[in-house]
Amino acid sequence: MPGTDEIVAMVVVASFAAGLNVYATVATLGLLAHTNVVQFPHALHLLSSWPVIIAATVLFVVEFFADKIPAFDVVWNALQTFVRVPVAALISYGATAQMSTEARLVAALAGGAIALLTHGSKTAIRAGILPSPEPVSNIALSTAEDALAIGLTWFATAHPYIAAAIAICVLALLILLVRFTIRGLRRLYRRWRGSPAEESDVSAIRLPTPGAPAPAARSADSSEKLAQLSECERQGEQAYDQMYEEHSFSGAMACYSEAKESFYEAIRRAEELGMREKADALRARLEHIKAVYRKQFTA
């Protein structure tokens, strides 16, 4: 029978693995216990029974294919919240049978929390790659999750401390990836929701009126102003995006001021070039930025 420290390490690993794929974890634990590779407390002897092993294996096969279907995998993972977290808590509670009741309750809460963090991170990352048009990334990520759940559970039986350290490191990495994923999705949403329709190059360039100079006779000054317009607009958008990355009011205000100045300059350049529609579009974008700033940073 493993010692207390080893049991705690295996609880961490099993909870992490259950958050990735609970059916693969239960099936692996059951097979390891049935073949006497590892000994569990009496409270977990049910895992080594053939009915549980077969049921978990069948459900693992179902999840193996369901988890690789784009869009459906997000729904599937959301539903698994009601399976992965409770099962991880029950396994943690049963694995610590030799401890006090208070310690077992703490272990169950910790196991459920680890599974929830792992499961939530996995679901968020999968939702982040959902817009990808190709299915390869989704399938590869799902397969890697399955392999990690099975491999790490098996590895923990021989090296519980190393396996627990790996689980904690991977979980921390997943949380960081979720943070970057959420930032990227927010940025895409802001651009989709708030950006005015981009003008095509054809609509941005006006046809000359009768008597006006031909395009070939335009001065280099006009070309320079057009380039400056594009650069000011780019700088304004960059400052607007950076505004969301700031964690202080002063930093957000500085980015907001920079965005305003850049858009005001872009509007002036557009008016000098006679691009009224472009100037109107820039004004609309600037008003949107002002509204966002007032709502999120000054409310």
Judgement on whether residues 161 and 224 belong to the same structural domain of the protein: no
My answer on whether 180 and 221 are in the same domain is no
Residues 26, 153, single domain; the answer is yes
Residues 6+ apart with CB under 8 A from 115: 15, 16, 18, 19, 22, 84, 85, 87, 88, 89
Is residue 144 domain-shared with residue 223, that is, in the same domain?
A: no
Are residues 159 and 260 located together in one domain of the fold?
no
pLDDT digits (tens), the chain, 299 positions: 567 889 899 999 999 999 999 999 999 999 999 999 988 888 899 999 999 999 999 999 999 999 888 778 888 988 999 999 999 999 999 999 989 999 999 999 999 999 999 999 888 887 777 666 566 777 888 899 999 999 999 999 999 999 999 999 999 998 888 877 777 666 656 655 554 444 444 344 444 555 555 555 456 677 888 888 888 989 888 888 888 777 667 777 888 888 888 889 889 888 888 888 989 999 998 898 888 888 877 75
Domain count, the chain: 2
Does residue 258 sit in the same domain as residue 160? no
Within a domain: residue 191?
Answer: no
Q: Do 273 and 157 belong to one domain?
A: no
* Domain membership flag for residue 190: no
Cα–Cα distance between 224 and 226 in angstroms, integer? 5
User: Does 192 fall in a domain?
Assistant: no
Give the span between the Cα atoms of 266 and 113, in whole angstroms: 50
User: Are 95 and 175 members of one domain?
Assistant: yes
- Tell me which residue of 247, 243, 231 sits closest to 288, measured CA to CA: 243
The C-alpha angle 139, 141, 146, rounded to 5 degrees, equals: 95
Does the residue 89 lie in any domain?
A: yes
Which pLDDT score, from 0 to 100, does residue 203 have?
42
Asked if residue 189 belongs to a domain, the reply is no
pLDDT score recorded for residue 140: 87
Is 101 domain-assigned?
yes
Query: Quick check: is 132 in a domain?
Result: yes
- Does residue 201 sit in the same domain as residue 167? no
Provide the domain limits for residue 202. Answer: 197-206+215-297
33 shares a domain with 96: yes
Within this chain, do residues 179 and 225 fall inside the same structural domain, yes or no? no
Q: What's the pLDDT score for residue 294?
A: 82
Q: What is the pLDDT of residue 218?
A: 53
Q: Which residues does 5 contact at the CB level (< 8 Å), separation at least 6? A: 161
* Structure token pair of residue 212: 């006006």
* Residues 222 and 156 placed together within one structural domain of the fold: no
Given this model, what pLDDT does residue 57 score? 97
Which sign does the torsion angle of CA 64, 67, 70, 75 carry?
positive
